[in-house]
Amino acid sequence: MRVLVTGASGFLGRAVAAAIVAAGHEVRCLQRRPSGVTGATDVLGTITDPAGVAEAVAGVDAVVHLAAKVSLAGSPADFETVNVGGTRTLLAAARAAGVGRLVFVSSPSVAHSGASITGSDAEPADPARARGDYARTKAAAELLALAADSAELRVVAVRPHLVWGPGDTQLIARIVERARAGRLPLLGHGAALIDTTYIDNAASAIEAALERVDAVHGNSYVITNGEPRPVAELLAGICAAAGVAAPAWSVPASVARTAGSVIEAAWRVFPGQDEPPMTRFLAEQLSTAHWFDQRRTRADLHWTPAATLDEGLERLAAHYRSL
């Protein structure tokens, strides 16, 4: 199968493209800079350029769409342009080129309204209730993608949750950096149960969805390791792997949420060079439970995680020892 992967220069996209190559498929990657994926062919460009997208999809059998603006802050218009507009452009090009399969890589945040999630399956994406511009636009994009599902273009949405692993410059690097600087508190008591997904598992699940599109199209699936742990335990495990001290102080969750709202408002007026230190969405993610029922995902995709959470932490520790 000839497969286009968008966003393959990112942490997850690179792993997904490599997994699809390893499965024996011919892979083309579309992103703004070289993907570095051995065995794949790069097409440099952006998901918002119709001509470039049309060139990238020409002759492929399937698309795995990961390209997105992923951030805790930024211009709402930029999120709309990339996440919604880019998806719309890709869908139009895929239909025009006769592409038969599309895997839309989404996020559980598209159906998260701030309350705890305890054992839910993939609830419908809801832009009106999603928290923050990223989640709102990803929800709108997922709805666009699933609305395009047909006998000619079969579409499935997958939502990997909190993907992490060696080489992650977002979640893991930020946790370690803040812990090292003594700026990583627990919110509340750190007891909220949270699911995460080790990078190899996320990539293999997305590759499994690609293989199973014909049987599962029209559906959304949350992907996790299926091993919910308390936030404090997760953070301690990551910090131990990196050789830094675990959080030793806490902030009431309500205070963090209020502070996050204030920081978000200030960031829109005076944006910093990096991500804001706290947002309301981040405070909610760190202080409320979010773990998911994986039975339908595993049965429908014919997939199970290959690496446990503890094995992932061991690999993370080995990575930091090698630096």
pLDDT for position 265: 64
Confidence of residue 74 (pLDDT cuts 50, 70, 90): confident
pLDDT for position 117: 87
Domain range summary for the chain, segments of one domain joined by +: 2-161+197-224+293-306
| Mean pLDDT, residues 208-220 | 98
pLDDT for position 255: 67
pLDDT for position 267: 62
What's the pTM value of the predicted model, to 2 decimals?
A: 0.93
Among residues of the chain, what percentage have pLDDT more than 70?
90
pLDDT for position 6: 98
For the domain spanning 2-161+197-224+293-306, the CATH number is 3.40.50.720
Confidence of residue 240 (pLDDT cuts 50, 70, 90): very high
Among residues of the chain, what percentage have pLDDT more than 90?
73
Find, among 32, 33, 31, 36, the residue nearest to 21 by Cα. 36
pLDDT for position 274: 67
> Mean pLDDT of all residues in the chain?
91
| Mean pLDDT, residues 206-213 | 98
On whether the CB atoms of residues 228 and 166 are closer than 8 A, the answer is: no
When mean pLDDT is compared across 57-71, 158-172, 272-286, the lowest value belongs to 272-286
The verdict on whether 198 is a catalytic residue reads no
The catalytic position among 134, 198, 221, 320 is 134
| Mean pLDDT, residues 11-21 | 97
pLDDT for position 34: 93
pLDDT for position 263: 63
